[in-house]
Chains A and B, each alone.
Chain A
Amino acid sequence: MLRKGFITIGDYFIFLNKVFSKPAKWSIFLKKWVFEMDAMGIGSMLIVSIVSVAMGSVITLQTALQIESSWIPSWTVGFTARTSIVMELCPTIISLLLVGNIGSRITAEIGSMRVTEQIDALEIMGINPASHLVLPKVFASIIVNPILCVFSIAFALLGGYLTVWITDCVSTYNYIDGLTYCFRVYDVIYAMTKTTIFAFVMSTVASFYGYKIDGGALELGKASTQGIIVSSFIILILNVVITNIML
């Protein structure tokens, strides 16, 4: 099993070497890149906003319920919610959500192309299929995921605001005061760095599992699940590593 793991890691890096080669035609690459950004971004916007509002709402409510002491200032609720949302929840949870949404779509799309010999057709035409199919997806996810993360942060903070406004657990003034208290741009840079790295992992691992399918529909389903599990696992490990390095 260990040997199989090392072989898979080796295959992954060989695959990356194929992916990161010069596109056969830049105009087609750009067209595919824009198409992928549109599909990934617009396609995920609704689910990201719903999850983010809910997440922001719950984290604000939980924080307000835990901090019921006159010793702790009211703005702490907004401050704690913002810090949790910006630094941890949005980059990690939304990346994991996108693994399930975008990652599984990438594996299924490339896997079905493999099963129906469309990848072989590209290869025989003299096109590098790994670069032609995967490179636009990698670049698109590297751009789109951080944008989705920014939207997610905004929606989560909005969710928190709405909760505060409806439940009146703290005043909206104190909540906003907490959101702006000791704001550091570095926190956003840290969140964006994490999201970008997670986007790279998500798109390349999902593509790898789709690309290496050998068989039919059954293997396609298995590969999709494997892609999600492995991407999520790597993201969680990297989350710890990056946090250690950057904070």
Chain B
Amino acid sequence: MIEVCSVSKYFGEKQILHNINTQFEEGKVNLIIGRSGSGKTVLMKCLVGLHSPEEGKVLYSGREFHNMPDIDKQKLRTEMGMVFQGAALFDSMTIGENVAFPLDMFTQMSDGEKNDRVDFCLECVDLQNVNSLYPAELSGGMKKRAAIARALACNPKYLFFDEPNSGLDPKTSLLIDELITKITHDFNTTTIVNTHDMNSIITIGETISFIYQGFLEWTGNSHTILSSDNHNLNDFIFAQPLVQRIKK
């Protein structure tokens, strides 16, 4: 479980996050939702340690992350996997080498064991025969899946996804959502997904935190979100004509 306790983040004079308190549960898909510029990416970067919050703390299974010694922080980071908005695959490496990279760095596996693990991770995300291709040779959806395979390589306890559906067609988007749910339940990971994709919100959100202008406005799940009486949340959820029509 990841607990966020009174986290505030400033960029210069500007306060981006205001006293955020929430928790992300183990074995569940936890969503952070909100409009663009609401602070959800900053919150995710605070969770993974790319930003340090000025106030508050982030606890990983009770261990405070930002005040840890660097060695412990690096050890904890080996338990994390993150899939970035643009996949962030290493351009100079093939897909096979990308997935094997965390194994090369952190394990003493033999080449055979590494190859087996790479094949297994790529199979999990339904990618075959791409080991020798470079990221530039893959489509957007395939890159995202390869990035998920790389994030899975070291068997992470915590998985982070930054806007996994952005730039993907509805069908591929659905596939990624299914994959996120499957991985979370199969490997019992604490999964945190940063999204504003309505389909993801309704179908995969087992816990949902809604951020509005840097404040945590609402927490709930995909069953309760459509019946919420929070004005800002309803504004966000029912912004699209299609969702308005479904509501009617």
In the docked arrangement, what's the CA distance between A126 and B90, Å?
16
Which stretch, B77-85, B126-134, B175-183, B224-232, touches the partner chain A? B77-85
The answer to whether B85 and A126 have CB atoms under 8 Å apart is: no
The answer to whether B50 and A126 have CB atoms under 8 Å apart is: no
**Chain B interface SS verdict (over half):** mixed
In the docked arrangement, what's the CA distance between A43 and B42, Å?
40
The answer to whether B84 and A121 have CB atoms under 8 Å apart is: yes
Which stretch, A112-120, A172-180, A217-225, touches the partner chain B? A112-120
User: A124-B77, A126-B74, A126-B77 in contact; A117/B105 too (CB < 8 A)?
Assistant: no
User: A25-B104, A25-B105, A28-B105 in contact; A124/B80 too (CB < 8 A)?
Assistant: yes
A58 in the interface, Cβ–Cβ < 8 Å?
no
User: B91 — which chain A residues lie within 8 A by C-beta?
Assistant: 112-113, 116, 118
A114-140 vs B, CB cutoff 8 Å, 1 = contact: the mask equals 001110110111110000000000000
The answer to whether A127 and B90 have CB atoms under 8 Å apart is: no
User: A125-B78, A126-B77, A126-B78 in contact; A120/B105 too (CB < 8 A)?
Assistant: no
The answer to whether B86 and A124 have CB atoms under 8 Å apart is: no
User: A67 — which chain B residues lie within 8 A by C-beta?
Assistant: none
In the docked arrangement, what's the CA distance between A118 and B89, Å?
7
User: A24 — which chain B residues lie within 8 A by C-beta?
Assistant: 105
The answer to whether B86 and A120 have CB atoms under 8 Å apart is: no
The answer to whether B84 and A120 have CB atoms under 8 Å apart is: yes
The answer to whether A125 and B48 have CB atoms under 8 Å apart is: no
In the docked arrangement, what's the CA distance between A113 and B84, Å?
13
In the docked arrangement, what's the CA distance between A123 and B84, Å?
13
The answer to whether B104 and A125 have CB atoms under 8 Å apart is: no
The answer to whether B85 and A117 have CB atoms under 8 Å apart is: yes
In the docked arrangement, what's the CA distance between A129 and B106, Å?
15
In the docked arrangement, what's the CA distance between A28 and B103, Å?
12
User: A25 — which chain B residues lie within 8 A by C-beta?
Assistant: 104-105
Cross-interface CB contact of B104 among A28, A113, A124, A126, cutoff 8 Å: A28
User: A25-B104, A126-B75 in contact; A116/B82 too (CB < 8 A)?
Assistant: no
The answer to whether B48 and A127 have CB atoms under 8 Å apart is: no
Q: How large is the interface on A (under 10, 10 to 19, 20 to 34, 35 or more residues)?
A: 10 to 19
User: A116 — which chain B residues lie within 8 A by C-beta?
Assistant: 86, 88, 91
Which positions 82-101 of chain B face chain A at CB distance < 8 Å?
A: 82, 84-86, 88-91, 101
The answer to whether A125 and B77 have CB atoms under 8 Å apart is: yes
User: B104 — which chain A residues lie within 8 A by C-beta?
Assistant: 25, 28
User: A28 — which chain B residues lie within 8 A by C-beta?
Assistant: 104-105
A19 to chain B, nearest CB (A): 15
B102 in the interface, Cβ–Cβ < 8 Å?
yes
User: A121 — which chain B residues lie within 8 A by C-beta?
Assistant: 82, 84, 88, 90
The answer to whether A124 and B90 have CB atoms under 8 Å apart is: no
User: A117 — which chain B residues lie within 8 A by C-beta?
Assistant: 84-86, 88
In the docked arrangement, what's the CA distance between A124 and B84, Å?
11
The answer to whether A124 and B82 have CB atoms under 8 Å apart is: yes
User: B74 — which chain A residues lie within 8 A by C-beta?
Assistant: 126
The answer to whether B50 and A120 have CB atoms under 8 Å apart is: yes
User: B37 — which chain A residues lie within 8 A by C-beta?
Assistant: none
B74 to chain A, nearest CB (A): 4
User: B167 — which chain A residues lie within 8 A by C-beta?
Assistant: none
The answer to whether B90 and A118 have CB atoms under 8 Å apart is: yes
In the docked arrangement, what's the CA distance between A161 and B49, Å?
61
User: A124 — which chain B residues lie within 8 A by C-beta?
Assistant: 48-50, 77, 80-82, 160
User: A113 — which chain B residues lie within 8 A by C-beta?
Assistant: 90-91
Which positions 147-188 of chain B face chain A at CB distance < 8 Å?
A: 160
* Top 4 A-B residue pairs of the complex, sorted by shortest distance between their CB atoms: A126-B77, A117-B88, A126-B74, A121-B88
| Chain B residues with a Cβ under 8 A of chain A | 48-50, 73-78, 80-82, 84-86, 88-91, 101-102, 104-106, 160
Since A124-B81, A126-B75 are in contact, a sample of 12 more A-B pairs with Cβ atoms closer than 8 Å, ordered by chain A residue number, is: A25-B105, A112-B91, A116-B86, A117-B84, A117-B86, A120-B50, A124-B48, A124-B160, A126-B76, A126-B78, A126-B80, A127-B105
A-B contact pairs, 13 of them (CB 8 A): A25-B105, A113-B90, A116-B86, A116-B88, A116-B91, A118-B88, A120-B50, A120-B82, A121-B84, A121-B88, A124-B48, A124-B49, A125-B101
